[in-house]
Structures are given as structure tokens and as C-alpha cells.
Structure 1
Amino acid sequence: MRSCRRAANINIDRGWIDDEAGLSGRRSVSKIGGSERGDPVAAGRLSPEETTMKLSISPQKALEVGAENLVYTHLRQMVMRHELPPGQRIYPKELTDELRASVTPIREALIRLSTETVVNEVPHLGFFTPDVTNADLRFLYESNRLALQWTLDEIVRPDRKTGLLKPPDEVTHAALASPLEAVETTDLLFMHLVRHSNEIHAMRNVSIFCARTFFSRLRECKRSEEKRKEVVRLCRLYAERDFGGLREALDDFHEEGRNGLSKTSDLLDGGTESSAAA
């Protein structure tokens, strides 16, 4: 269903603003994949030495913070790519060798992931990877579409005072890439776009969509080059600030995603990214 607030060929004259300035003239902090992109320490972009200077903590503590972020990132990818199959219990002790970490940072990463609903925590039982059903995926596609369309409504609002956050280079210079890069670029675009909403619930919905649908979208990109071309088109429309075209393209993206679920439902039961390459 098309939005009733559709506007063709919308183009905003306000220039891009630096990510460091934020959307309201101050440093912006936005939860993306569990990290604070406005904070270079939380996002893991500072070295241990720089982290020590910024937070006045010991070099050893800075190294521990960096190691915990690595465990979190690796574990999140394992869940998203179904390297840990859906609906299965996660045993931290069994992951110590692969993650090269002790049980404690693995449990802390799982707690963090559970707050983002990337994994489920069941009292007295532990952590489980979420089941993935077609009904779940259809709901996620629709909630993501609504969050992004609402964000576009906010962007083109006549009384909007601020400019737009400068897109990441991966979005501005998007080109036909591998299936994995295409999905990651899509997630980067969606998370960057929804930040303009300044609405934590919208950001959370998009973050959940990116995590829960990652595997099915990866399979589709492996099956069809047109899916990867679609990502390039979405990025180009955003970089050119053609928000009318982007609105229609996003509607098409989500409609095609929902319609394609029946074709990939047999691939969602215990498959992994490596099997997707077969």
C-alpha cells in the first residue's frame, strides 16, 4: 500500500551535515547494532591508547573493552548468518574456542544481544537463537517499511530545521557488489536513513529487521543479481536526495521481499551462509 503522503521528485536543498554534529546541532548518539555510532569508543573506532586518554582508564581495561566488542560483533554475525541455527540453545562454553574468549565476555555479549532481540533469553534456561518463520518475516518487512516511510515523511517536512546526515561512503559510492556486501550496504543505508527520525522505536524496529531478515535477504541476493542492483538503486536515490523515487523504491523493495518469502522458506531451517554458496 502506497503512502498517502507520497510526493514525487522531492529533493531537499539543505546540504548534508557532518555526522559528528548530529541532527540538532549537538553530538548525536544512536544505537546501531548495539553500538553508539556517535561515540567512537563504543563503536570501537579508537585504539586502546586513544580510549585510555578519552576515558582515563587503564590500557588493560581498554584492551578488555575492545575484546568484548569483538566477541559481540562476531557472535551477532553468527546469529544473523545462521551459523548458529534458528531455534537452538546457545551454550557459551562451546563457543570459547571459536571466539577465543572466556565464558564471561560471551555471556555479556549474549545479554547485550538479548536486549536487541537478536537472541532470546529464557529465564533458568539460557539463550536461544530466534525461530524464523514466514509470518515473522512478513511482519518485519511491514514494520520496517512503515519506519522508513515515516522517516521520509519527517525528512521532507516543510518545517524541518536541520540538514541531513552525510551518508557513509559505502552508500554514496555503492556499486554492484557481492551478495554479502549488498546486504550489509542495505543495512547501513536503512540504519543511516532511520536516524533522521530521531525516534528510538523506529531505529529499534529497523535494527531488528536488519538482524532477523539478514539470512533470507542474503539468500535472495545469491539467487538474483537483480536484488544486488536494487541495492545500488536505493543508495543512488538517497545520495541524489530523490526522496519521491526512494519512497517508491522502498515500497517495491519491501513488497518484493514479502512476496519472495515462499520461495526461500525451505532455506530458513538450519541453513548457513556457507551452504548458501553451494
Structure 2
Amino acid sequence: MTAIRPRPLVAGNWKMNGLVLGVNEFDAIATGVAAREVGRAEVLICPPFTLISRFAAAAAGQHIKIGAQDCHPKSSGAHTGDVSAEMVKDAGASYVIVGHSERRVCYGESDALVRSKAEAARRAGLVAIICIGETQAEREAGRTIDVVGTQLAGSLPAGATGANTVIAYEPVWAIGTGLTPTVDDVKVVHDFIRSRLVEALEGEGHELRILYGGSVKPSNAAELMAVDNVDGALVGGASLKATDFLGIAAAYR
């Protein structure tokens, strides 16, 4: 029996981009979502911390969600420069990205730390988007499945459900490079992730959305989003341009 696919999610990760004076792109995205240019996809924008409150206020009553790009595992304390999941929630967000490759590589974040951040997200009432993916060297060494499996096992909290957790597979070598795996490569990895989720979470494993990320653009979105067990996209640079981002989300019309 084939499991019913969950509602797709198309999430934009703005990374360290965006100033108050330049929010026209967000307004254009929100307008496109309101006009149902994105079909059945749920749409999420994750701006820098400085814009979460502003975007959340603008999104009130609209069919667009706001998220953060990271959070600290603790709810409060002497952690200069950090932001807790509770603070993210208080600012108006409903999602938070954890374990992005740029956090893992640049800040040495371990699977255990990523898991603790996902647990913090659940504690605060946020949905955690847990990122996993292999580097170019790991891919060339034929270790993609081993790396993805290890990261998933180490980063996924016990009791994860489709309501509080999303998985995002982002091959590190494809992020912002213009390179993408073949459709067959994506299918192999996403099928593997699904099998591991079902094994770890039983029936609930079918409910978690698995996003693909890594040089997704309007020209390849429909092909990638049609792959079994690809339940949406985590979009980087293309999410900064309303026409590109809406074009990707429109793959789910």
C-alpha cells in the first residue's frame, strides 16, 4: 500500500541577507502566495533574526509561514550572541532550521548538538527542519549513504513526528554551486532516508516531510519535486528573488 504523501513544503533560507530597507521581495512572495501562485505547497521564509518579527507581522493572516535559521539548545542563560527557540517563537516564527551544513562546517556543530537544538525547537512549539548531507569528498569516496545515515541517526530526536520535524537533504557540494545530483541520485538518498525514518519511527516515519536542497531553481524544480519521497525544497539563493522562489513553489500546482 502506497503511503499518502504529506503536504509539500517549500522553504526559503535567506542566510545572512536582508535589510529592513529591502523587504520588497518578501512582500512580492507574500502577494504571490496570497494569489495562490504556489498551488498546494506550504510556503516558509527563514530570514535573519533581525527580520523575523517584521516578517511575522506582515504575514499575519496570510498563507505564508516564518522561520529562523538556528537556535540555541537552552531556553535562556549566559550565552552571548545566541538566540533561544523560545525567543524565536516569541518573535513570531513557527519553524527553525537546525544543522545546516554551514553551521556544521563553519562552527563544528555535531549531530548531538543538532539533536539538542531540534529538541529545543519542540520544547518551544516550533517545527525543526533538520539538515543532513554529504560533502564532495564524501560523495567521491562513495560514502553518501553512510554519511547521511549517520547524521540522520544522530540528529533525529526520539518521538519526532510529522507535526514537529522536517528533514532536509542538502548535498553540501550542490549548495550554491549550480550543481545538482541526478534525479536518480536524489531518489536513492530520499528513499533511504524514508526507510530509516519508518524504521525509527514506525508509521510516523511516513508523515515526516523530506525536502531536497542544493541549487534548486525554477528550471529544475518540477523534475526534482516529482521524485518519490521529495516532499518539497529548501531553497537558498533563489529564495531571495520572488519570481524564482514562486517559480519553484509553483512546481506543486
Quick check: TM above 0.5?
Answer: no
Question: What is the TM-score when the length of structure 2 is the normalising length?
Answer: 0.27
Bigger share in strand? 2
